[in-house]
């Protein structure tokens, strides 16, 4: 596993990254290029958000594996979350006192929904975590390093099989973690980067 740091001198003009013409995970010839983007946190004069684009090449086998990772992370989180939410909403709704005034009239529904939402987030996250541990040997070490679905909504990072990308503090640089050292060295030479 090798980490490459790409400096970002100007947030409004992020560098255009070049990847080798082979899969970032297994180094086989590329089949598809997955578009990956990160928000730079600034806007152009016209109000358009500046995004850092870095197209990530994958072979056919790794692309299929990446698509299957969705079934290990996002799908279980959503399904378990919805099921847990419903199963906790009903008893919380039935137990909560009904409001007697106009302001508290639907308190029981609001309380049930709140409890259901919190339980759904926790339940979905626990199921996703368990499945990540179970499938980590098949999908690689970076599967465990990927943020949980609930946290990825607030995290400035992109993850694909064989590659993890995240900003350093204040978005002064982009850290790319490659599982394949050979591809990382080739990426470094293509982008003429100095080692930190």
List the chain residues with pLDDT less than 70.
Answer: 140-142, 153, 193-196
- Helix, strand or coil, per DSSP, at residue 42: strand
**Rounded to two decimals, what is the model's pTM?**
0.69
Q: Is residue 123 part of a domain?
A: yes
Q: Is residue 185 part of a domain?
A: yes
Structural domain harbouring 178: 1-67+156-196
Under 8 Å between Cβ of 193 and 29: no
For residues 50 and 43, give the distance between their C-alpha atoms in angstroms, rounded to a whole number.
5
For residues 174 and 7, give the distance between their C-alpha atoms in angstroms, rounded to a whole number.
6
Q: Is residue 115 part of a domain?
A: yes
Q: For residue 196, what pLDDT is reported?
A: 45
Side-chain half-sphere exposure of 148, counting CA atoms within 13 A: 17
Q: For residue 193, what pLDDT is reported?
A: 59
Q: Is residue 151 part of a domain?
A: no
Q: For residue 89, what pLDDT is reported?
A: 95
Q: For residue 117, what pLDDT is reported?
A: 95
For residues 122 and 51, give the distance between their C-alpha atoms in angstroms, rounded to a whole number.
31
Question: Torsion angle of alpha carbons 159, 165, 168, 174, nearest 10°?
Answer: -160
- Specify which residues 169 forms β-bridges with: none
CA distances from 147 to 29, 67, 167 (A): 28, 17, 14
DSSP 8-state symbol, 31: -
Q: For residue 195, what pLDDT is reported?
A: 47
Q: For residue 105, what pLDDT is reported?
A: 83
For residues 108 and 115, give the distance between their C-alpha atoms in angstroms, rounded to a whole number.
11
For residues 128 and 35, give the distance between their C-alpha atoms in angstroms, rounded to a whole number.
25
- Give the total number of structural domains in the chain: 2
For residues 185 and 3, give the distance between their C-alpha atoms in angstroms, rounded to a whole number.
10
Q: Are residues 114 and 83 in the same domain?
A: yes
Q: For residue 129, what pLDDT is reported?
A: 92
Q: Are residues 79 and 60 in the same domain?
A: no
């Amino acid at each position: 596993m090798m980490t490459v740091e790409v400096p970002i001198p100007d947030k409004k003009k992020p560098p255009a990254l070049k990847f080798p013409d082979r899969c970032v995970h297994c180094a086989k010839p590329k089949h598809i290029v997955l578009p990956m983007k990160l928000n730079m946190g600034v806007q152009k004069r016209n109000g358009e958000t500046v995004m850092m684009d870095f197209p990530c090449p994958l072979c056919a086998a790794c692309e299929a594996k990446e698509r299957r990772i969705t079934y290990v992370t996002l799908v279980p989180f959503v399904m378990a979350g919805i099921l847990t939410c419903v199963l906790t909403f009903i008893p919380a709704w039935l137990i909560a006192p009904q409001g007697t005034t106009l302001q508290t009239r639907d308190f029981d529904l609001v309380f049930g929904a709140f409890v259901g939402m919190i339980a759904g987030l926790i339940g979905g996250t626990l199921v996703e975590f368990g499945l990540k541990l179970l499938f980590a040997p098949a999908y690689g070490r970076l599967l465990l390093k990927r943020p949980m679905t609930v946290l990825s909504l607030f995290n400035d990072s992109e993850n694909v099989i064989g590659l993890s990308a995240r900003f350093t503090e204040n978005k002064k640089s982009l850290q790319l973690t490659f599982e394949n050292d050979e591809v990382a060295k080739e990426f470094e030479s293509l982008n003429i980067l100095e080692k930190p």
